[in-house]
Copies of this chain bind each other. A is one copy, B any other.
Amino acid sequence: MGEDAGRGLECQKIMDGKGNNGNSSQKAIPSCCLKARASAPELEAKCHSTVVSGWFSESQSSSDKAGKMVYFNNPMWPGEAHSLKVESILYKARSDYQEVLVFESSSYGKVLVLDGIVQLTEKDECAYQEMITHLPLCSIPSPKTVLVVGGGDGGVLAEISRHSSVDHIDICEIDRMVIEVSKKFFPELAAGFEDPRVCLHVGDGPAQELVEKPFFDTLARALRPGGVLCNMAESMWLHTHLIDDMISICREIFKGSVHYAWASVPTYPSGVIGFLICSTEGPAVDFLNPINPIEKLEGAHQHKRELRYYNSEMHKAAFSLPSFLKREVRLLCD
């Protein structure tokens, strides 16, 4: 795409890690890394404030002035941490919005980290990307237009492109650096941007929390009758209060169906991610039994990428909920 060429050039300056990172990155290097740099030059490639002794960890610890351990970073995961062994750091920079890190891990392939929180790994991105796309698009007979909020890596776009009924895809991403980084390091995902149906909007939106009422209100008003929203909805093991809140809000706003589903994603907190899937008033939507099964969808399987997680069985199974979840989130009771 013609427009893309200019965008690529513009961002090349950011991609080399000097554009936004200049002197401040020098200051940010922790002492453990400086030591490693002095004694073992081959370790320099692993140098980042979230990487200690060759491991990236989502729950970073540091000491305050009194020498007491202070924990920060992923507030969604207090008291536990998931760590990945780092082979090499491929990219690090600060964008206008966040810290962007890409590293090659020993066991999960390349990893994209934003503000210290794992966004995706090559090994398990399939579960999240395929589910958040096909749970909604396989629940309506012939989806036509899709809006993606966030998802600048392009993985969701790549999944949407399996659906030939779709004629227009808008994507709103705040951070151009995420898109450019994905084009360089996750070309299979970023290939989603090459679909001619995609219309990219880069920029900030109204300042709204993505899990609060005004945001859901706006989306509900944007949808046609019987239109569908699928939103990421936390971990059933850790965040039942948040899930409860989100379902309450959505039951109030969406007058169709509101359901909770989940999938296994090893590198997300507690190894699972939830989805809240809602429909507006209009033609009834039965989320639990895909009306538009992917196995019968022409072209969906003869696509560039193989489906790795999603299938119609997994679609149905995702709505089965553990007893503790139904008890803690009363709105999920049968």
Contacts and interface: CB of A to CB of B under 8 A. Distances in A.
Given A108-B80, A123-B237, A270-B271, A313 B308 contact: no
Interface string A83-117: 11100000000000000000001111000000000
A53 interface: yes
A84 B81 CA distance: 7
A321 interface: yes
Given A79-B108, A123-B237, A69 B53 contact: yes
A297 interface: no
Given A309-B323, A320-B316, A106 B124 contact: no
Given A53-B61, A271-B264, A271-B270, A81 B82 contact: yes
A80 B123 CA distance: 13
Contacts of A307: 323
Nearest to A85: B79
Given A53-B61, A320-B316, A323-B306, A107 B78 contact: yes
Interface size class, chain A: 35 or more
Contact of A83 (B59, B265, B309): B59
Contacts of A126: 324
Interface in A247-274: 262, 264-266, 270-272
Contacts of A313: 320-321
Nearest to A310: B323
Contacts of A314: 320-323
A34 interface: no
A54 interface: yes
Contacts of A53: 61, 69
Contacts of A270: 264, 266, 271
Interface string A322-334: 1110010000000
Contacts of A57: 83
B82 A80 contact: yes
Interface of A: 39, 53-55, 57, 59, 61, 67, 69, 71, 78-85, 105-108, 123-124, 126-127, 236-238, 262, 264-266, 270-272, 306-311, 313-314, 316-318, 320-324, 327
The 9 A-B residue pairs whose C-beta atoms are closest, nearest first, are A271-B271, A79-B107, A79-B106, A317-B320, A317-B317, A266-B270, A313-B320, A308-B324, A79-B85
